[in-house]
Structure 1
Amino acid sequence: MTELDEKSLGACGLSAEQAKIYLFLLGNGMSPAKGISLKTGIGRPLTYKILEQLTELLLVEKREDVGKVTFFRPCHPKRLKELASKRKEEMEHSSLGLQSALGLLTSQFNALQDKPNIKFFEGEEGIKHVYEDILATGRDIVIITSPIHEGRQEVLHLIKEQVKKQAEQNIKTRAITPHHEGKITAMPIDEDEKHLITRKMVPSEKLNIPAQIIVYEDKVAITNFKESLVTVLVESKYIAETFRIMFEYIWDSKE
């Protein structure tokens, strides 16, 4: 009995244990379940179960007329050819069934791929989640800042730490920042180069938005700094592409 023999029987639909027992019987002739179990190394309860399966497949014949002990003997190997043909027919039938369902399955898969993954966060946890995700992806980002975040003292330390961590990971940032009176950024503008930030200033009356927008990879993070601190994280290739196009439009505008 060789590994190749077992693999050949496996091609007929037999399990490794079924093949092992059938090949044992072919090589040793009629045997009791106890002897089969000892010689094949397959536990006796499982041996009985497999012998019943092989009997149903007409590969093994049960003999109870020899004595008090039940013996089993192999049937002619031509039965394997019949099983192989039957399996081939079943596989062809399954293939036809799969082919007819493939269109629907593909449509469902595509719909799932196009469906945005949206997460909502309240408080600082949303900002922390987005910042950690940016560091994990390691991709460059674009951001449209909100002048209102300067009044949110509870998040300024998070922004400062994030800017430093991004620079340490060589993550480049392009930022569009509304210009307004007083302090305009969480970090001094003269440190932009050190932190790998390229910035465009725009008049605050043109872009006095209450929410900050960060686009990275296939994700868009929108954090509302006015009233409740809420972050919406949208994962969608096309939505991220849309925001990037909007960003580039503002970036390239002369004003």
Structure 2
Amino acid sequence: MAKDATLMAHSSVRKLLKRIGLEEKEIEVYLALLAMKIGRATDIAKTAKQSRSHTYIILRDLKKKGLVSEIERGKIIHFVAEPPERLLSYLKNREQELEGLQTLVEGALPFLSSLTPPLTGQPRVTVMHGLEGIKHVYRDVLTRPFVSFFNPQIDWEAFGGNIVHMLFGKDAILRGKDLLVNNDAAKIYLQEVPPHEEYEVRLLPKGVDFDVDVIIFEHEVSIFTFSDEATVIRIENPALADAMRTWHGVMWEMSKEVCT
């Protein structure tokens, strides 16, 4: 039992380290060095089951990230694992870098958009599987105006928590209109993500229920389904987006206002 618990802990830690930006082989080398505290590249490589040359490169990268340092003993370089608390400093540095990149990306968007020809003819359909693919599309709601049909219950079951908080934090500013399935999960969602200046929410009439989420952007519709394998279907077609937006508007007028 204790061995199983240890394996689960190692698996969870690996997933966490991957989420904060470490590559698979970086994780193996980092965990190997943590267990040793200090060691030569050759010994670390053996423990991490990596080639010595590759391990040396990875250790240099981890040093740049502030997670590893090096000392010289008898003219031989030894690598030292910094305290695990350094992960927090690394994460804060990444957040600052991403904030700076966000400004640059926002400035480049008009140029990048101008490179894309307008959609004509057949709708363009893309399909992504898995929760990570779904999260990728959800992140669009922070940067683009939207209207949506949303069932907090199925998202809670799929992601194990409030998807807005998980992706954007508790102070996220959304810019859109959400129609929520009127269930207990919706009430909890409204307490955690209340309507604000640019984010309006209404509760659908009782009895109107569905097990998918639908987000409508300017020229595209994204449909999220969580039965069997989590999947998102993106359909880029202005006419379809307009039709779905009209349907949303009709349901909006029939739905219950949420007091702020």
Q: TM-score band (shorter)?
A: 0.3 to 0.5
Q: Is the radius of gyration larger for structure 1 or structure 2?
A: 1
Q: Give me the TM-score of the superposition, normalised by structure 1.
A: 0.47
Q: Give me the TM-score of the superposition, normalised by structure 2.
A: 0.46
